[in-house]
């Protein structure tokens, strides 16, 4: 494995696990619930108005009367003290009528913190549905059984006050397992993770962009107080450090065992530090993440996740079964062992995973040309460590080996899907000989072929429409001339510069970076177009070039017809355009056109505002409002002619969004509907968009 680049020196990334520095409360003491410095991961549950705080307060004396047997474990007494403290805090919160929503959009969903039924047996607290919670709409977070016998679940408020920098919050040692997540809460947690990833990616882009602007125009004052990167610094580490300074790293208030809400199997990450930001793996360099012995109730280290990246010569990765080599015993930049490994730290933690049967999150890392870092990390789900032994490695030194078996019933491994996508692009008929209705429904109209695949039923509806790569506009749209500069575009002979006239039309900055990725969503983006002198290679010409990823329209059991890509789609990348026959409001009224075959641009929510939003780090940040966009009254008829975008499925938590763009005409009332990726989208993952119409089915 290649060594990591030297980290930046001006930021402390808080990379290693930290002890829990908050004092342990003794019986009778109370601690005010605080929502400062815990990140945006888990808000404080709403107090249930149907629970009498004085009735709960009556439980406190009963807890005090419970004492462990003379020969009982000291951990039981410790748990009882914690249960009393947490209950006291909750009662106090009820009395003060503190209320924070648990899940966005989960009407009636709430939670209550009560002593677990088996509190005296070593589990002190649990998050359980409140009596008035909507059936199936709450999340159960329970203590890890047996993992740290006697360790309790910490209920910590986690609403960050972003108005001022915070002291970095140490990682908690409290371990919980999320047993079930309702549909509404799945969307909520997914949006939290997406929000953190958007902030990370936006900061990384901004840091790099600021460095470019400084080099091109050193006299300009940067719009935000960004730290200088330096020649050998890395923007990913700097972005993560800035988020850490604001306590925006997720899942720092709990150590989650097993699946993490909001993170799905197959999720792709391009930077190791991003795994730390979302809480999937907390170590910047070590392959084993674990809770140290000093922080567990049993005094034994407990492993939570591992990264398999081929760094050890004795690893044997067979997919569902993995022989994983322990940590240590080799020099940096060398996969060969040089000394015997020791059964301590992460190695000992994995051994305890065998003893306690604790599941482990497995992330696979590999080199990739599609990644800006040269590497890609894929979350492949949960494994059980079923065996551990010491053996002589290939280099003759003692190594600890662990056999991990993937837990059944999970989604297909993300790393397998990556390999399958490569094979499909190379030889689709050889990999899936049955199911292809067309190897290019666009008939060469798109820059890349668009597959049609259906191995479920005999539906061939997609073959009945004429493929239209670009929308067909009525002539009245092109009658408006003279937008600025006397109807002229930019006069740049090569790639446009920061002081170009097209940059000024976009509010003084370009919307894309040098790789064609969207830097910041805007109400309307002016790309260099038909009146501009710059070449097609200009960085301000992105969406007009057509699709850059090989798309496949496929039949899905869940959503009918859907769209997916055989390529990685990077966050902020252009995907495709909504195409059809553009109809004015007058045409719709005259011909009485309506029905499911219409796409209404005015209904799409402004999710472009989320892309590039860094208000979590810079409270003074405001989303772009220039140029302004008039009311959109036109519609796109896709009943006869359409393209692949018309098969996008609807989702309240989508992975793509609409960005309005102009380039071939200058009528702001009729922009192009360009689709961009809201997150890193792995191959063969269905693309979804928010049509702004609730749960109605659109576009299929």
Tens of pLDDT, residues 137-152: 334 444 444 433 333 3
The answer to whether residue 378 scores a pLDDT higher than 90 is yes
Return the CATH class of domain 286-411. Answer: mainly beta
Lowest mean pLDDT among 338-352, 485-499, 552-566, 620-634: 485-499
| pLDDT at residue 114, rounded to an integer | 32
Residue scoring higher pLDDT (11 or 251): 251
The answer to whether residue 570 scores a pLDDT higher than 90 is yes
Tokens of 231: 């020649």
The answer to whether the CB of 255 falls within 8 A of the CB of 304 is: yes
DSSP reduced 3-state for 46: coil
DSSP string for 564-595: EESS-B-TT-EEEE--SEEE-HHHHHHHT--S
Tokens of 386: 């079923």
Element (H, E) at 471: none
Tokens of 272: 């190791």
Q: 328: alpha, beta or left, given left = phi > 0 and alpha = psi -120 to 50? A: left
CA atoms within 13 A on the CB side of 1: 23
Question: Rounded mean pLDDT of 271-300?
Answer: 89
| pLDDT at residue 293, rounded to an integer | 85
The answer to whether the CB of 271 falls within 8 A of the CB of 236 is: yes
Q: What is the maximal distance between C-alpha atoms in the chain?
A: 91
The answer to whether residue 306 scores a pLDDT higher than 50 is yes
Q: 507: alpha, beta or left, given left = phi > 0 and alpha = psi -120 to 50? A: left
| pLDDT at residue 227, rounded to an integer | 60
* CA-CA-CA-CA dihedral for 4, 6, 11, 17, to nearest 10: 40
Which among 193, 191, 184 is positioned nearest to 103, based on CA atoms? 184
User: Do the domains spanning 286-411 and 422-689 agree at the CATH topology level?
Assistant: no
pLDDT more than 70, % of the chain: 69
DSSP reduced 3-state for 55: helix
Q: 12: alpha, beta or left, given left = phi > 0 and alpha = psi -120 to 50? A: beta
Which among 120, 256, 105, 118 is positioned nearest to 175, based on CA atoms? 256
Tokens of 581: 């026959």
| pLDDT at residue 231, rounded to an integer | 56
Which among 668, 669, 688 is positioned nearest to 678, based on CA atoms? 688
**Architecture of the domain delimited by 422-689:** Beta Complex (2.170)
Residue ranges of domains in the chain: 9-264, 286-411, 422-689
In the chain, the N- to C-terminal Cα span, in Å, equals: 45
The answer to whether residue 77 scores a pLDDT higher than 70 is no
The answer to whether the CB of 213 falls within 8 A of the CB of 193 is: no
The answer to whether the CB of 672 falls within 8 A of the CB of 580 is: no
The answer to whether residue 602 scores a pLDDT higher than 50 is yes
Which among 217, 247, 249, 214 is positioned nearest to 229, based on CA atoms? 214
| pLDDT at residue 164, rounded to an integer | 46
Tokens of 58: 């009556």
Under the banding of pLDDT at 50, 70 and 90, the label for residue 391 is confident
């Amino acid at each position: 494995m290649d060594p990591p680049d030297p980290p930046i020196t001006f930021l402390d990334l808080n990379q290693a696990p930290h002890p829990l520095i908050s004092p342990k409360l003794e019986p009778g003491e109370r601690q005010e619930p605080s929502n400062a410095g815990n990140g945006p991961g888990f808000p404080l549950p709403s107090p249930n108005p149907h629970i009498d705080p004085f009735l709960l307060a009556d439980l406190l004396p009963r807890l005090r009367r419970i004492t462990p047997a003379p020969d009982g474990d000291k951990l039981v007494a410790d748990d009882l003290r914690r249960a009393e403290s947490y209950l006291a805090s909750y009662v106090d919160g009820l009395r003060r009528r503190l209320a924070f929503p648990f899940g966005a959009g989960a009407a009636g969903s709430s939670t209550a913190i009560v002593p677990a039924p088996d509190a005296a047996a070593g589990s002190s607290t649990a998050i359980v549905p409140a009596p008035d919670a909507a059936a199936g709409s709450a999340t159960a977070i329970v203590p890890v059984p047996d993992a740290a016998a006697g360790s309790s679940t910490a209920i910590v408020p986690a609403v960050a006050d972003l108005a001022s920098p915070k002291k970095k919050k140490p990682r908690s040692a409290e371990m919980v397992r999320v047993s079930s997540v309702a549909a509404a809460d799945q969307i909520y947690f997914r949006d939290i993770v997406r929000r953190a990833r958007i902030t990370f990616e936006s900061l990384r882009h901004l840091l790099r962009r600021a460095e470019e602007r400084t080099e091109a125009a050193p006299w300009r004052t940067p719009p935000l107080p960004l730290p200088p990167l330096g020649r050998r610094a890395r923007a990913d580490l700097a972005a993560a450090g800035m988020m850490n300074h604001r306590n925006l790293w997720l899942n720092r208030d709990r150590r989650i065992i097993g699946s993490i809400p909001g993170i799905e199997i197959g999720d792709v990450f391009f930077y190791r530090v991003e795994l730390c930001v979302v809480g999937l793996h907390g170590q910047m360099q070590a392959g084993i993440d674990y809770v140290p012995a000093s922080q567990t109730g049993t005094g034994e280290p407990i492993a939570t996740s591992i990264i398999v990246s081929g760094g050890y010569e004795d690893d044997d990765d067979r997919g569902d079964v993995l022989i994983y080599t322990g940590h240590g015993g080799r020099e940096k930049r060398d996969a060969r062992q040089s000394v015997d490994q020791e059964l301590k730290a992460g190695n000992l933690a994995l051994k305890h995973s065998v003893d306690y049967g604790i599941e482990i999150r497995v992330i696979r890392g590999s080199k990739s040309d599609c990644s800006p870092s040269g590497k890609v990390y894929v979350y492949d789900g949960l494994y059980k460590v079923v065996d551990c032994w010491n053996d002589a490695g290939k280099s003759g030194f003692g190594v600890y080996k662990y056999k991990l078996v993937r837990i059944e019933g999970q989604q297909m491994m993300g790393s397998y899907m990556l390999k399958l996508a490569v094979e499909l692009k190379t030889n689709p008929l050889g990999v899936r000989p049955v199911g292809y209705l067309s190897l290019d429904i666009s008939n060469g109209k798109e820059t890349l072929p668009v597959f049609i695949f259906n191995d479920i039923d005999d539906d061939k509806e997609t073959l009945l429409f004429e493929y239209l790569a670009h929308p067909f506009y009525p002539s009245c749209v092109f009658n408006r001339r003279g937008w600025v500069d006397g109807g002229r575009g930019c006069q740049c002979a090569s790639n446009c510069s920061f002081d170009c006239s097209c940059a000024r039309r976009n509010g003084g900055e370009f919307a894309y970076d040098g790789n064609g990725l969207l830097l910041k969503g805007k109400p309307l983006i002016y790309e260099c177009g038909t009146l501009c002198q710059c070449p097609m290679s200009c960085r301000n010409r992105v969406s007009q070039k057509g699709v850059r990823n090989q798309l496949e329209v496929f039949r899905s059991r869940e959503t009918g017809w859907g769209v997916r890509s055989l390529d990685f789609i990077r966050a902020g990348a252009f995907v495709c355009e909504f195409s059809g026959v553009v109809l004015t409001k007058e045409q719709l009224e005259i011909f009485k056109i309506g029905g499911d075959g219409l796409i209404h641009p005015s209904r799409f929510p402004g999710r472009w505002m989320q892309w590039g939003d860094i208000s979590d780090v810079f409270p003074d940040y405001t989303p772009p409002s220039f140029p302004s966009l008039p009311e959109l009254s036109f519609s796109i008829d896709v009943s006869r002619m359409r393209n692949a975008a018309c098969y996008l499925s609807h989702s309240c938590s989508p992975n793509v969004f609409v960005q309005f763009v102009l380039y071939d005409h200058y009528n702001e009332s009729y922009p192009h509907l360009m689709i961009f990726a809201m997150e890193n989208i792995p191959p063969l993952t269905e693309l979804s968009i928010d049509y702004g119409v609730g749960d109605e089915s659109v576009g299929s």
